């Protein structure tokens, strides 16, 4: 009975890892109801067939079909499905062979202690963590988290192996210990997922809060502009009369001076950017007002059409980069910021420069082919997500991001292909 419980529990966690691995490869949310149905059917059929027959070819067909059905939830591409299904199955098969060959001479059709399936699960768990490290945006997470995740299954394998070879535990005791280790590993992974989800939600809430503040600020800017226009419209007769008197005197210099005064009256000091795109203007005005209060030199040049699709993604980029640039520049003596944004021939060009302390927010990966950011703020897990999202959006639209830091100037150049953004590519 305990052996069957161990088999059922191990298979349950294994299928959970298979689904997790598929989502890591494709990164797409699927309907929970469909997912539960597919996972449940695969679990029941796979567990029953394995327990009843212990036959390699039956297990192989069942696993391939089940993994393929799970992957099919995430993608309808046959080629992608075959590749991911094959990859996941090979990892599972390799771990099974490695775990079994350490202890027994496997023969098809034979019934073996499910302790070896537990060891195989821990090996699969380790492989899944390595795949996640290589593929997902969480690969820049804190090293302490990654080490603890990998050490847990490694320690579990060591504990089970020692118990098997030293004969210090009965079969029942070994089974109970294995069940406990399985549950401990699963709970650790579950809590890790909750932590990542919580951090992501917190970041999204901060983004929405910032966006609401930006919209409120932009609304105040618009209302102030309308108030000045109303005031000017109310006194327009007096202004026209004055201009007419000056024109009759042929006093061109006074006419120009009077028009300049009217322009100055209409000018709104809080409206730094007025491209006509409400979403982008609101974020830029909100961030740049802060920059003008804290910095000495703020150079801004923005040339955008009134309509820019996927403004949310553009705002995520601008909001995160400007926030970091303003903070870094504020810690220097020069307090310099330059923002140049231009859309030409379907290519959005963003160039942001700021003075910075040589301390560093920039580091090179070992292969020196990619550049990543290191935040200097507290709660690096939370703030680092914003920088990762910038990189993720750039990659999403096959854009390019060049980062340089020299002579006290930190410079970021972005190219985003708006045609790809409009097509969702």
pLDDT digits (tens, 9 = 90+) for 210-221: 666 666 665 666
- Which pLDDT belongs to residue 85? 94
- Which pLDDT belongs to residue 240? 72
Query: What's the chain's average pLDDT?
Result: 77
In terms of pLDDT, which residue wins out, 333 or 422?
333
Alpha carbon 281 to its chain centroid, in Å, reads 24
For the chain, the domains span 2-205, 274-425
Winning range, highest mean pLDDT, from 90-104, 106-120, 220-234, 359-373: 90-104
Helices 278-294 and 171-234, packing angle to 10 deg:
90
Report, as an integer, the average pLDDT of 114-131.
Answer: 88
- Which pLDDT belongs to residue 137? 46
- Which pLDDT belongs to residue 140? 46
SS3 of 377-419: CCCHHHHHHHHHHHHHHHHHCCCEEEEEEECCEEEEEEEEEHH
Spatial separation of the C-alpha atoms in residues 280 and 360, rounded to whole Å: 29
Report, as an integer, the average pLDDT of 146-170.
Answer: 82
Express each pLDDT in 278-333 by its tens digit.
Answer: 677 778 888 888 888 888 898 988 887 756 666 677 888 888 888 888 888 988 88
Spatial separation of the C-alpha atoms in residues 135 and 395, rounded to whole Å: 13
**pLDDT confidence of 73, banded at 50, 70, 90?**
very high
- Which pLDDT belongs to residue 116? 83
In terms of pLDDT, which residue wins out, 387 or 177?
177
Pick the closest to residue 114 from 5, 2, 7 (CA basis): 7
What proportion of the chain, given as a percentage, has pLDDT over 70? 72
Residue 271 has pLDDT above 70, yes or no: no
Helices 115-135 and 2-26, packing angle to 10 deg:
10
- Which pLDDT belongs to residue 239? 65
Task: Determine if the pTM surpasses 0.75.
Answer: no
Report which secondary-structure segment, H or E, holds 181: helix 171-234
Q: Give Dmax over CA atoms of the chain in angstroms.
A: 113
Express each pLDDT in 324-336 by its tens digit.
Answer: 888 889 888 889 9
- Which pLDDT belongs to residue 70? 94
Express each pLDDT in 25-46 by its tens digit.
Answer: 887 778 889 999 999 999 999 9
- Which pLDDT belongs to residue 257? 79
Class of domain 274-425 as given by CATH: alpha beta
By DSSP bridging, strand 347-355 and strand 409-417 are antiparallel
Express each pLDDT in 188-211 by its tens digit.
Answer: 888 888 887 787 777 677 766 766
Report, as an integer, the average pLDDT of 389-396.
Answer: 78
**pLDDT confidence of 251, banded at 50, 70, 90?**
confident
- Which pLDDT belongs to residue 115? 84
Spatial separation of the C-alpha atoms in residues 424 and 218, rounded to whole Å: 28
Report, as an integer, the average pLDDT of 224-236.
Answer: 62
């Amino acid at each position: 009975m305990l052996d069957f419980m161990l088999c059922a529990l191990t298979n349950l966690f294994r299928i959970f890892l298979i689904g997790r691995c598929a989502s890591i490869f494709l990164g797409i949310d699927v309907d929970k109801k469909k997912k539960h149905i597919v996972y449940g059917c695969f679990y029941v059929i796979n567990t029953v067939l394995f327990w009843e027959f212990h036959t390699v070819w039956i297990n192989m067909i069942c696993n391939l079909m089940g993994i393929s059905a799970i992957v099919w939830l995430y993608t309808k591409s046959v080629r992608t499905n075959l590749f991911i299904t094959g990859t996941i199955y090979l990892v599972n098969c390799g771990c099974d062979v490695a775990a079994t060959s350490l202890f027994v001479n496997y023969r098809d059709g034979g019934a073996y202690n499910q302790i070896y399936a537990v060891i195989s699960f821990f090996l699969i768990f380790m492989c899944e963590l390595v795949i996640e490290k290589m593929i997902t945006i969480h690969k820049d997470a804190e090293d302490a988290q990654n080490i603890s995740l990998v050490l847990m299954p490694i320690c579990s394998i060591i504990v089970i192996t020692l118990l098997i070879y030293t004969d210090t535990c009965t079969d029942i005791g070994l089974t109970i210990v294995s069940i406990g280790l399985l549950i401990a590993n699963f709970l650790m992974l579950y809590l890790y997922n909750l932590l990542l989800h919580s951090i992501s939600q917190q970041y999204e809430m901060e983004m929405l809060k910032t966006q609401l503040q930006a919209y409120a600020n932009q609304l105040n800017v618009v209302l102030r502009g309308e108030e000045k226009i109303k005031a000017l419209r109310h006194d327009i007769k007096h202004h026209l009369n004055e201009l007419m008197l000056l024109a009759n005197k042929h006093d061109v210099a006074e006419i120009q001076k009077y028009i300049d005064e009217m322009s100055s009256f209409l000018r709104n000091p809080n409206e730094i950017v007025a491209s006509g795109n409400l979403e982008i203007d609101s974020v830029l005005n909100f961030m740049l007002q802060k920059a003008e209060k804290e910095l000495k030199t703020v150079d801004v040049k923005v040339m955008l059409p009134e309509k820019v699709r996927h403004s949310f993604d553009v705002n995520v980029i601008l909001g995160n980069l400007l926030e970091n640039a303003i903070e870094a520049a504020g810690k220097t003596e020069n307090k310099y910021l330059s923002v140049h944004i231009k859309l030409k021939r379907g290519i959005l060009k963003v160039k942001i420069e700021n003075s910075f302390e040589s301390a560093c927010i920039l580091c090179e990966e070992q292969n020196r082919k990619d550049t990543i950011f290191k935040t200097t703020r507290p709660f690096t897990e939370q703030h680092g997500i914003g920088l990762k999202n910038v990189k993720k959006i750039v990659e999403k639209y096959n854009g390019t991001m060049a980062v340089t830091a020299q002579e006290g100037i930190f410079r970021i150049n972005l190219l985003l292909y708006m045609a790809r953004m409009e097509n969702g590519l």
